[in-house]
């Protein structure tokens, strides 16, 4: 099992506990607010549509895309197509901000997973742009 799978399971447990824990918290006992019928990560049973993505899911997708752009730029630069330094700096700042938002452990898990996926799809290393690195399981 990969670190990303473990992190996804931990996030689901955390959201589930936060959702379920709200029903028994002292604040809820005072206000007597009703508890929703389903956790926020499930489908809405009335409309049969998925519940909107949480901010953590949006950050994860954006961070994945930023890592992919970084890998693509690295491979292109290795192949002799230089990258504009302003684009590189802006992408680096985006990744730093998203890492702050997502948390360093989650961002590291996403980076590791995206590196594996990029290497499997392209045969190139996303960090150095080289060929023939050993596939890690």
Q: Which of 22-26, 38-42, 118-122 has the highest mean pLDDT?
A: 118-122
Query: What digits encode the pLDDT tens for the residues 59-107?
Result: 888 999 999 999 999 999 999 998 888 999 999 999 999 999 888 999 9
Q: What pLDDT was estimated at residue 27? A: 43
pTM: 0.59
Is the per-residue pLDDT at 35 higher than 60? Answer: no
Domain extents in the chain: 1-52, 55-122
Indicate the Cα dihedral angle 107, 110, 115, 117, nearest 10°: -170
| Average predicted confidence (pLDDT) for the chain | 75
């Amino acid at each position: 099992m990969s670190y990303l799978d473990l992190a996804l399971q931990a996030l689901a447990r955390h959201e589930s506990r936060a959702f379920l824990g709200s029903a028994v918290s002292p604040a809820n006992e005072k206000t007597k607010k009703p508890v929703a019928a389903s956790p926020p990560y499930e489908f809405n049973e009335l409309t049969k549509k998925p519940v909107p993505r949480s901010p953590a899911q949006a950050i994860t997708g954006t961070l994945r895309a930023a890592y992919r752009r970084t890998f693509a730029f690295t491979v292109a630069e290795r192949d002799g197509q230089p990258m504009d330094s302003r684009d590189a700096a802006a992408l680096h700042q985006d990744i730093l901000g998203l890492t702050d938002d997502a948390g360093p452990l989650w961002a590291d898990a996403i980076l590791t997973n995206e590196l594996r996926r990029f290497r499997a799809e392209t045969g190139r290393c996303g960090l150095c742009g080289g060929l023939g690195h050993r596939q890690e399981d």
